[in-house]
Chain A
Amino acid sequence: MRLPASQAGKLAVFTALALLLAVLPFGTEALLGRSWVRVIDGALLFSMLAIGLNVVVGYAGLLDLGFIAFFGIGAYSYSLLASPQFGLHYPFWVLLPLGAVVAGLFGVILGAPTLRLRGDYLAIVTLGFGEIIRIFLVNLNRPFNLTNGPQGITLIDPIRIGGFDLSKTYEVFGMKVAAVHSYYFLFLLCVIASIILSLRLENSRIGRAWIAIREDEVAAKAMGINTRNIKLLAFAMGASFGGVSGGLFASFQGFVSPESFKLMDSIMIVCMVVLGGMGHVPGVVLGAILLTALPEGLRYVQPLQQSLFGRVYVDPADLRMLLFGLALVLMMRFRPQGLWPSKRREHELKGEA
């Protein structure tokens, strides 16, 4: 079979990328150690979150500062139905779609009262929503113990596909495939599916309606777009990505607690979307990977200080916030459209228009 040059080129790039992604966890483990494979797994989960938030913020232009709540809702709906908490052990193929639906419903619950709000006001309400969900998770251990409060839920079932338990170590072709590797491939598949889903939505009648609302809500209404329903749909769709990601997170960790769903995490996801390039799927994935990897890289600063100065001057956790702040300020000053923006955003924010 002979292909035209451009197609052959695409195929070559595609094959190379697939190979790279296939060996990535093993290569990383050999070079940097297992903890970095876990970091990659986390980056994939955050990529899904960023893709979800991008639907709300990037396409429909609705600033959501409580997005981590949907991650939490997904994680808890998985945990409650697949752990000793209630003695329920449903399989993942029921629970992940369920997580998407439940998170989507909560998306609508958040969206419905905020339909008339925009910008700063919407941001404040969504921020409050995120906190309310977290506080519920902390306090719903009395009078009836639903969430087990601040202790969280432990011994969550891992994902089992047939007889294959993702949390166990297997030997494949003489290579040890541990949980971090198995989950890597599962997460990778989910991220690829999310990317395809998100791109298809973007280039559809619904996606155009979202972008039209972001551009000019009054004109969008005048064109016959039912802005109420279309905005609720954006909230629901975005949240459902978060819900699936949360379910995956719960099964991977085997443990969830309200600690994992704090305001700081919501802000982090917004940063991923903004830094990567609002409204552009490859951009937000890049943002998610960078912002997950960066803090981990900063951990090396501590031993570095120790060896250079004989003592630790700056705590890496503080340094992380300092550098984040600095990076964001610099981004807003010099590259407001993000690292890898869509064409649309690029000329919008460069001020050519």
Chain B
Amino acid sequence: MSALLEARDVVKRFGGLTALSEVSLTVERGEIFGLIGPNGAGKTTFFNVLTGLYSADQGAVVFDGKPLSAAPHQAAAAGISRTFQNIRLFANMSALENVMVGRHVRTHAGVLGAVFRTGATRAEEAAIRSRAAELLEYTGLSARAGDTAAHLAYGEQRRLEIARALATDPKLLALDEPAAGMNATETAGLKKLIERIRADGVTVLLIEHDVKLVMGLCDRVAVLDYGRKIADGAPAAVQRDPAVIAAYLGGNAEAAHAP
């Protein structure tokens, strides 16, 4: 079977700034793939291209054998779901409602169904509700189902974003710095959750700064620096790559101090 995600020579420019410069990478089915790199390396930009929030200036992304079109709702329909670096929950909806919104793309009820409360609509609504409750259970948030998302603790909000993303039945779950701001206990819980998601058949693409988490969790890692992919491979090999060490530690003093 072909790779789940294949990005070929993706270029994204913002005015004079080339945020992504011919980035190519391949994510295989069932793996946890890490995308790392210093701040401003273009990781989130790559995510945004992938999920249709930005359109690439050049290059192509093939997902599950089909080229991705540049509309976010179609990316979700195709099976890519994501979380955000700076949490973007529906703050004034309850935790359960947040996850229920995630079911939107897999359900069909329209205005007429809603107005006449047809049997099909009621059955679908019940299914949405029970699936959402299941996902809250899965992410350990059952006790907070009725609480407003904005009132949840930080770590809970991060997990709620994952539950909401899972509600779209993704083939690829893209997590943008899920461990940011978490303490050690929360991070350990998150690691378990991600492993469980993979075990349940969802491929995971992960942007993360927590090197320990990435090395312990990912099957393969790609490193971005200044919009360019400088390495990819198994975590242990990437960790020893001189170009990666230079990018993180400033091995090349001239490059590090250049204006």
Contact = CB atoms under 8 A, between A and B. Distances in A.
Q: Do the two shown chains form a genuine complex with each other?
A: yes
Given A215-B91, A219-B88, A353 B111 contact: no
B23 interface: no
A208 B75 CA distance: 20
Interface residues on A, range: 20 to 34
A200 B115 contact: yes
A216 B101 contact: no
B89 A216 contact: yes
Contacts of B151: 347, 352-353
Contacts of A301: none
Contacts of B117: 200
Contacts of B104: 205, 208-209, 212, 223-225
Contact of A224 (B76, B110, B114): B76
Interface residues of B, number: 44
A344 to B, nearest CB: 5
Interface stretch (B29-37, B92-100, B211-219): B92-100
Contacts of B111: 201, 206, 233, 237
Interface string A183-211: 00000000000000100110011111101
A139 interface: no
B90 interface: yes
A206 B93 contact: no
Contacts of A224: 72-73, 76-77, 81, 104-106, 168
A29 interface: no
Interface string B55-92: 00000000000000000110111000110100011111
Q: Is the interface of A mostly helix, strand, loop or mixed?
A: helix
B187 interface: no
Contacts of B148: 344, 347, 353
Contact of B128 (A205, A218, A347): A205
Contact of A218 (B88, B91, B92, B115): B88
B21 interface: no
A237 B89 CA distance: 26
Contact of B101 (A220, A233, A344): A220
A207 B92 contact: no
A227 interface: yes
A219 B89 contact: yes
Given A208-B97, A208-B101, A223-B101, A216 B90 contact: yes
Given A200-B114, A223-B101, A225-B101, 6 more contacts: A207-B114, A209-B104, A221-B53, A233-B111, A344-B92, A348-B92
23 contacts: A200-B115, A200-B117, A201-B111, A204-B109, A205-B124, A208-B93, A208-B100, A209-B101, A211-B97, A212-B104, A215-B89, A215-B90, A215-B92, A220-B101, A221-B76, A222-B81, A222-B88, A223-B101, A224-B73, A224-B105, A224-B168, A225-B101, A237-B111
Interface of A: 197, 200-201, 204-209, 211-212, 215-216, 218-227, 233, 237, 344-345, 347-348, 352-353
